Structure 1
Amino acid sequence: MGKSISHTGASMGYGWNEEKDAKVVYREHLAGDNPKEITQEFKIIQSQNHRCKKNTLSFVLSPTIQDGQKLKEKELKEITERFIKEMKLQERQAIAFVHQDKSHLHIHLYVNRIGFDGKAFKDNYIGKRSQQAAEKVAQQMGLTTVKQVQQEKLNEINYVRLEIKQVHEKVIADMKPKDFDQYIKYMKQRNVEVIPSINKSNQLRGFRFEYKGQNLKGSEVHRSMSMGRIAERIGFDRNVAQKIAKENSLSMLGKTVEITPNLATSITKKALKLAVKKTIGLGMEI
């Protein structure tokens, strides 16, 4: 993460916070021993350029939890030095602190945006540029990159989607739920939490599925798992379905919720088809 800031003193105080086990891992062209002194040294250089208000660059460098547990002070300093080089911020006042108060170790880096020549460092797209620089540093040092983390998360989500879909199909095929309550109950028995999405108007808008730490909309799991598609596969009783169609509402988890006319119609059609099939089946038996 990277951005330009104006509140240098407050940020510096946060970075150099002893309660967070902050430790200085890098400093350049600075002599101060506390946040106040460092801020004053920044201001001496910044006084050359009154037009630039956001005159300090603030960065947060966050290795993964696993990488952070292995990194020593020497390597944290190297990460910072490499990052500064990639950002072309050498020969500027800079200081970096590492926070170790949480399992997720991270570095706070502050660089004077104003150089010794009084010119301000161009901060256009600073966030994107800092991400690209951090990616390069991670590759250089054999650390896990953001893209790798994102791919791992995507793989995990795709696997969870597949498992939820499999549980859903098994519940529909084997348990044959007769309403949403039964569907929610049977899914929960298989460790998938189905959470109704109800808006401020008490209207049922869909379902979310919670499983293995992931929380996904039905349509995010699979296009066949939207609320309407699920309703089409549930065997609603005909009398119940007709009541739902008449009132555009249904009982679910002990509450009455509103539904859209389209969903009510879908439920009714499904119930009538099942009723017709059942009648034909009885006629064949006779």
Structure 2
Amino acid sequence: MIGKGHAIASTGASIDYGWNQEKEAEVVFKEYLAGETPQEITEEFKIIQSQNERCTQNTLSFILSPTVKDGQKMSKTQLKEITSRFLKEMELKNRQAIAFVHRDKAHTHVHVYVNRIGFDGKAYNDSFIGKRSQIAADNVAKEMGLTRVKDVQQEKLKELNWQRQAIRHINNRVLETRPKSLDEYINKMKSCNIQVIPSINKSNQLQGFRFEYKGANLKGSEVHRSMTGGKLIAEISQNAKGIGMKEISTGLKLMNKTVQLSTNMASKIAKDLIKKVIKRGLDTGMGY
């Protein structure tokens, strides 16, 4: 089961969407609410939210998505139980909340809306709410014997095992040619029919690489632990004096632009570089 969550300002429009009868919507959970229409529910939210005018994104929106197989056999009672346990995991009990199941598609999913403002007028801390939602949903799936995200991922990796082995084999061959830059590495992989796609976030930070080959699209870590962004950059940096500690801290050249590295990735690359330097010294007789 997958869980997604974020804070929103469009309370009325979101609850109206959840109630959409064209999506075969049905209320599966309702707490501290008396209203029978989206408009009435929204007004009840607003009464509590009026205690805290500083918080503008004052509603929490979540989507709980069991796997297609699990969702097809789940009853209204089970969906209510999932929602209740999820809110407990998120420490959101004793708040106004409503949840709707949508069954208009093969993938059954639940939309949950919770008043971010409590009855005491305090706003719920939404820091890292997306990640916390994923963890909470996974805990609920484990408790209820549902298929977990990691189970789906492991099954997917098994199905793509031959592509993973091929990508890793070609990657090793390309690294043996000692490419002196990321661009050279990417171009050599492309000549072997593997598309290397840099993952760059909105802050222009390089997060890692994805690899496309024969219908598979995988993160480097999904191919093999030696193919994470940090390890690949550390490996390539050994082939050229132009990439070193300074470039790691100030930015790397990639496809005619400079990208930054996250603090976490830069730290991992630095550790790998230090290990390689020490190993190289031992291999050449500098160590005892």
- Find the aligned partners of 1:2 and 1:215 in 2 and give their Cα distance: 25
Q: Which residue of 1 aligns with 2:43?
A: 40
* TM-score normalized by the length of structure 2: 0.58
Deviation, structure 1 residue 157: 2.1
Aligned to 1:138: 141
Deviation, 1:147, is 1.4
Choose which of 60, 64, 68 in structure 2 pairs with 1:65: 68
Secondary structure (helix, strand or coil) at the match of 1:57 reads: strand
Q: Determine what percentage of the aligned residue pairs are the same residue.
A: 64
Aligned pairs for 1:136-285 within 5 A: 136-162=139-165, 209-211=213-215, 214=216
Structure 2 Cα separation of the partners of residues 209 and 110 of structure 1: 40
Shift of 1:130: 1.0
Q: What is the aligned length?
A: 183
Shift of 1:152: 1.6
Matched, 1:16 2:13: no
Which stretches in structure 1 are left out of the alignment for 5+ residues? 167-193, 198-206, 224-286
Residue aligning to 1:84 = 87
Distance 1:196 1:137, change over 3 A: closer
Q: TM-score, normalised by structure 1?
A: 0.59
Instruction: Please state whether the residue corresponding to 1:104 is helix, strand or coil.
Output: coil
Select the residue among 93, 97, 100 that pairs with 1:97.
Answer: 100
Unaligned runs of 5+ in 2: 170-192, 197-210, 227-288
The answer as to whether partners of 2:58 and 2:117 remain within 8 angstroms in 1 is: yes
Secondary structure of 2:27's counterpart equals: strand
Asked which structure has the greater CA Rg, the reply is 1
Residue type of the alignment partner of 1:157: L
Q: Which residue of 4, 25, 45 maps to 2:7?
A: 4
Q: Deviations over 1:29-64 (max 9, x none)?
A: 111111111111100000000000100000000000
| Cα distance in 1 between the residues matched to 2:49 and 2:223 | 52
Rounded Cα–Cα distance in structure 2 between residues aligned with 1:13 and 1:116: 23
Q: CA deviation at 1:155?
A: 2.0
CA RMSD in angstroms, aligned pairs only = 2.6
Contact 1:210–1:216 under 8 Å retained in 2: no
Displaced runs of 4 or more, over 6 A: 163-166, 194-197, 220-223
Partner of 2:31: 28
In the alignment, what sits opposite 1:120? 123
* Higher relative contact order, chain-length normalized (CA < 8 Å, sep 6+): 2
